[in-house]
Amino acid sequence: MGRAPCCEKMGLKRGPWTPEEDKVLVAHIQSFGHGNWRALPKQAGLLRCGKSCRLRWINYLRPDIKRGNFSDEEEQSIIQLHQLLGNRWSAIAARLPGRTDNEIKNVWHTHLKKRLEPSEQEQHEQAGAAKKRKPASASAPRKRDSKARKTDVKATAEPPVSPERSLSSTVTDSSTSMVSAAAAEHGGSSGNSAGSSSVSVKEEQSFTSESEEFQIDESFWSETLSMPLDDIMDVVSMEPQPQETFGGNSSSEGDMDYWLRVFMEGGGGDQDVLDLPQI
DNA sequence: AAAGTATGCAACCGCGGCAAC
DNA sequence: TGTTGCCGCGGTTGCATACTT
């Protein structure tokens, strides 16, 4: 509801961007910023929809984009972050300066995913997954033509529930309470302060019963962005031990301890999730 | 050398979230 | 309180190139 049409396609150009278009877009954004993506193409004189402009800028034209191959460190970070965050490419990208979610997504699907052991994927598959965004169509392609594409070949090699999706959900089920606590500890300084505050409220409300303890609010992930990478890595690599991981010095230390305890006692140390493969 | 296949990347599509009205 | 409009995200697709037969 209330969603604007993807873009009024009438008269708008699609497909690859030309250098001229790039130039125009960059010049316009450098001059006027991109306060309103929808209005930007018109203002800049581009026959593109706002979405396309935004995508082009974010994924390609932004001055702080780091091009080129991913370093081993970056790849390992992606793998670890993916273990923790699942297919939250934007969240992962936020931890890798100069890298875009689209790029990371591509790298994952073309390189990193293949490194996972098949057995590992099976574990993740068995973990079962409830898709968050579109539960009813979690594993079903939204659209797909009948012709056998190469991606179809890839897809058939994968379980009906993709490993990362399962993994994502598993992580969500078992470890998010811990991460959430950590994220909350960091004050939710993701820049989306309104979202952060609402998250904490939501979480307090949603955890009113034992059965709901692990129903982490979707918006939690936005807070994860505010979490230093080191902390995330701590969480990822954490063995069931020291609670000082959260280094409590805030007023919510008690809550931290509580959620950590809940996590630990609830089998949250589920090694399926937190024991990362040695890369 | 040509045809077929696989791979990688850029871009598109459609949805959910959220603020403004 | 419901509706509208925009932004951002994740999944998917299209296409160029590399590789294999």
pLDDT tens by residue, A81-90: 888 888 888 8
Measure the CA dihedral A104/A105/A106/A110, to 10°.
100
How far does the CA of A103 sit from the C1' of B7, in Å?
15
A259 CA vs B7 C1’ separation (Å): 44
Comparing A12 with A194, the larger pLDDT belongs to A12
> What pLDDT shows up at residue A218?
36
In this predicted structure, the answer to whether residue A154 has a pLDDT above a threshold of 70 is: no
Residue numbers in A 220-279, CB below 7 Å of strand B = none
- The whole-number Å distance from A266's CA to B6's C1' is 45
Statement: the CB of A147 is under 7 Å from strand B:
no
Q: What is the pLDDT of residue A166?
A: 35
Question: What's the pLDDT score for residue A247?
Answer: 33
Covered bases, chain C (protein CB within 7 Å) = 3-15
Name the residue with higher pLDDT: A79 or A244: A79
Taking 70 as the threshold, does the pLDDT of residue A232 lie above it? no
Q: Is the CB of A14 under 7 A from strand B?
A: yes
As a whole number, mean pLDDT of residues A71-91 equals: 83
The three-state secondary structure class of A154 is helix
Task: Domain A72-122: give its CATH code.
Answer: 1.10.10.60
Per-residue pLDDT, A70: 83
Given this model, what pLDDT does residue A160 score?
A: 34
Q: What is the residue-averaged pLDDT of chain A? A: 55
Q: Does the CB of A142 sit below 7 A from strand B? A: yes
Chain B footprint bases within 7 A of protein beta carbons:
5-19
Q: Assign A157 to helix, strand or coil.
A: coil
The pair of structure tokens assigned to A25 is 């877009």
- For A272, the token pair is 């399926």
Q: Residue A219 and residue A225: Cα distance in Å, rounded?
A: 11
How far, in Å, is the CA of A161 from the C1' of nucleotide C4?
35
Give percent of chain A above pLDDT 90: 0
